[in-house]
Amino acid sequence: MKHRVYEILKKHIDHPVVLEKPKDKSFGHYATPIAFSLAKVFRKSPIKIAEELVERLKEEEMFERVDALKGYVNIKLSRDFLNEYATWALKNEDEFARGDIAESILLEFVSANPTGPLHIGHARGAVWGDVLARIGKHLGYKIEREYYVNDAGNQIYLLGLSVYLSARESVLKLEVEWPQEYYRGEYIADLAAKAVEALGPEKFVDESFIPEISEWAKERMLELINENLHEVGIFFDHYVSEKSLYDRWDEVLTRLADAGAVYEKDGKWWLKSTEHGDEKDRVVVREDGRPTYLAGDIVYHYLKFERGYDRYINIWGADHHGYIARVKAAIAFFGHDPQKLEIILSQMVSLLKDKEPYKMSKRAGNFILMSDIVEEIGADALRFIFLTKKSDTHLEFDVEDLKKEDNSNPVYYINYAHARVFSLFEKAGRGRESVYDVSLDGLSEEAYDLLFTALLLPEVLEDAFKNRQLQKVTEYLKHLAGMYHKFYYDNRVVGTPNEEALLKLSAMVALSLRVGLKMLGIEAAQRM
């Protein structure tokens, strides 16, 4: 709707137009302050310009009312237009709220170390990235999802060492001396038992086999991580191994040297990241010649940009904030535009159970498993709650609240509104298609307010995606469900003179709830 209004305004105004929603809905559906911008151009009062513009816009059939108020132009859409738009949406559910933006985006998210099961902190970025991709694809973006597997460095060796020692102690009943640093938790003991069975006890006689055990354990962990993700409907198009990237490091280091981006000092090689906004230069090669963790990130992003997407989005944990400037510096040295890379940070999550801190998982050692929370509240509730706040703000919730079947549980509340519509059609003995062409003449102003809100979903999705504020979708769905619940209580539908029109209105509300939930990876309930 907003785009249609914008197009009409552009016919009358050769100037950038801003559309807003009036806080007082009695003013109309949209408002524009364009007269204030044009006042400087035409050297006229904004009030006078607004009044002149209103006279021209009154001829547009799409508008029921156009008013000038203190320099603002307020617009109310016609009931005929809203009815026709609803008819089209109901007949074209698969096309409703879709866009045609043909921009390609490589989206990298989760990228949890394959050294243990996914914990609840990983889950937030996983859900957020998945929903960003879902909404983006619906809007027409060509989005591919990528998992960057951090399988290089000491952490993988440490995983293998932990499995090796656990197998010797718990399976082979040998005396072992545990180092200060190792991976804990029942999952290590489970891995150890499976490793002895799969690899044979002879692989646990001395430490020379730890690299082989590490590789085997890493693959099992990746399988478990994918199982955890698939449980909540998250899948990837590509996996990239960090370990494999170091084969290209010499080539990439040469590129950096040719660009004057690195220098040698104290036996190390440093990236001149301060030239592109970093607080200090960063080591990329240690004294012993081994590339650092940053080197892997640099190779990864070098190869990313070689793949030729229009834009790149990474979703990182908030603890990676310091890496943004140094990675963007490397991109700039390669001759690419670092602004094409967007980093979205995902803050940690605090969980409560009956208002007390949620207990850590024995299986995981010292963190809360994503799979435990999914088992307790379900994938839908997990998805929804992680989308109720901006990704870069702290999130706290009580799992017991998400088990309730009442208005305090937003997933239940929204699904109940959707299911109510289906129950109305059953009670009326009608199929939804039977009311798609019905006129909505005669309905109240309250009904048209509800219809307008239901038709706002395309704008909500576009705004949420472009501004990376996915919480706007959850807020919209709660608001629309709340409006419908109130309307349902205040208005009898079945058996009234306006039954068909009210059923059509209800069907439109259900469509927006259904499509909106689908964008969140949730299937709307038809019965409750």
Domains of the chain, residue spans: 2-77, 157-214, 410-519
**3-class SS of residue 77:** strand
Return d(Cα 174, Cα 194) in angstroms, integer. 17
Return d(Cα 151, Cα 114) in angstroms, integer. 7
Cβ atoms < 10 Å from Cβ of 414: 28
- Give pLDDT, residue 25: 87
Return d(Cα 151, Cα 157) in angstroms, integer. 9
- Give pLDDT, residue 42: 86
Bridge partners of 31?
20, 74
Cβ atoms < 10 Å from Cβ of 174: 12
- Give pLDDT, residue 153: 84
- Mapping DSSP onto H, E and C, the string for 142-163 reads EEEEEEEECCCCHHHHHHHHHH
Which positions of the chain have pLDDT values less than 50? none
In the numeric block, which tokens belong to residue 149? 């597997």
Per residue in 95-117, pLDDT tens? 999 999 989 999 999 999 999 99
Return d(Cα 498, Cα 428) in angstroms, integer. 12
Return d(Cα 133, Cα 145) in angstroms, integer. 8
Return d(Cα 140, Cα 143) in angstroms, integer. 9
Return d(Cα 246, Cα 241) in angstroms, integer. 10
Question: What is the dihedral sign for C-alpha 162, 163, 168, 169?
Answer: positive
Q: Is 14 left (phi over 0), alpha (psi -120 to 50) or beta?
A: beta
Strands 104-108 and 142-149: parallel
Cβ atoms < 10 Å from Cβ of 136: 22
Task: Tally the C-alpha atoms within 13 A of residue 364's C-alpha that lie toward its C-beta.
Answer: 18
- Give pLDDT, residue 68: 95
Is 305:363 a contact under the CB 8 Å cutoff? Answer: no
CATH architecture of the domain covering 2-77 = 2-Layer Sandwich (3.30)
CATH architecture of the domain covering 410-519 = Orthogonal Bundle (1.10)
| Cβ-based neighbours of 425, under 8 Å, separated by 6 or more | 431, 432, 503, 506, 507
By C-alpha distance, which of 19, 28, 8 is closest to 449? 28
**3-class SS of residue 346:** strand
pTM of the model: 0.94
By C-alpha distance, which of 433, 437, 443, 417 is closest to 499? 443
Residue 70 carries which side chain, given as an amino acid letter? K
- Give pLDDT, residue 359: 85
- Measure the CA angle with vertex 23, ends 19 and 29; round to 5°: 50
Share in percent of the chain as helix, strand, coil (round to 5): 55, 15, 30
Residue with the two structure tokens 């509300």: 509
